[in-house]
Amino acid sequence: SQELEQSPQSLIVQEGKNLTINCTSSKTLYGLYWYKQKYGEGLIFLMMLQKGGEEKSHEKITAKLDEKKQQSSLHITASQPSHAGIYLCGAAARQGAQKLVFGQGTRLTINP
Amino acid sequence: NAGVTQTPKFQVLKTGQSMTLQCAQDMNHEYMSWYRQDPGMGLRLIHYSVGAGITDQGEVPNGYNVSRSTTEDFPLRLLSAAPSQTSVYFCATRRSSGGAADTQYFGPGTRLTVL
């Protein structure tokens, strides 16, 4: 079965610094999702990537899916306290798959 | 348009009690699912449904039952609660049942504690 490994598991950065979170799959990715979860709340959709080499940006967050479609990275530029939370990647194991699998999450803390 | 709603937000049960977690969506989405979230484990799929009258098991279905009598509702039943079912439960929906190309939307979650 497909597994997603996120690294790092937790991250503490100074406000204003850049950071990167990685999501590595044991198999080819079809439809890679990034979600953000505020502590004690639900998941907010950030971005979805499907094609190898694809890159999407929203405000100061950029996500990429590598050419081989087995790893995705989430990069935050000039981090702010509002970026704090848990970031999760989710993916489908195959084209047309009903089920998504998720990584274990990365807990991001932003120090002022 | 409320999106995905879940009730209750918090619940405390004693071992052996039963209860139903409610999930409702007003987006006319075909696909609905239930996940549980535990520390260090990420999200794990419990059950899912690709349409009214159709349900299937996910990764961790034991101890849970579901039904899908309408497009809008997808309740999750715990028949005899156990401490191992202490978790945060999320309902998620997707427009199409035809694969993961559509965005999946999550409800706010139900925090369940079983004593």
**Chain B, nearest residue to A93 by Cα:** B100
Residue B84 pLDDT class (50, 70, 90 cuts): very high
Rounded distance, CA B26 to CA A74, Å?
31
For residue A7, the one-letter residue type is: S
Q: Which residues of B touch A4 (CB under 8 A)?
A: 42
Rounded distance, CA B64 to CA B77, Å?
6
Residue A63 pLDDT class (50, 70, 90 cuts): very high
Least confident of B50-54, B62-66, B92-96: B92-96
Work out the minimum CA distance from A108 to partner chain B, whole angstroms: 14
Residue A52 pLDDT class (50, 70, 90 cuts): confident
B108 touches chain A (CB under 8 A): yes
Q: Decide if B108 and A42 are in contact by the 8 Å CB cutoff.
A: yes
Residue B4 pLDDT class (50, 70, 90 cuts): very high
Residue range B2-21: average pLDDT?
A: 94
Q: Which residues of A touch B97 (CB under 8 A)?
A: 98
Q: Decide if A99 and B50 are in contact by the 8 Å CB cutoff.
A: no
Percent of chain B with pLDDT over 90: 80
**Chain A, nearest residue to B47 by Cα:** A99
| Rg of chain A over all Cα atoms, to the nearest angstrom | 13
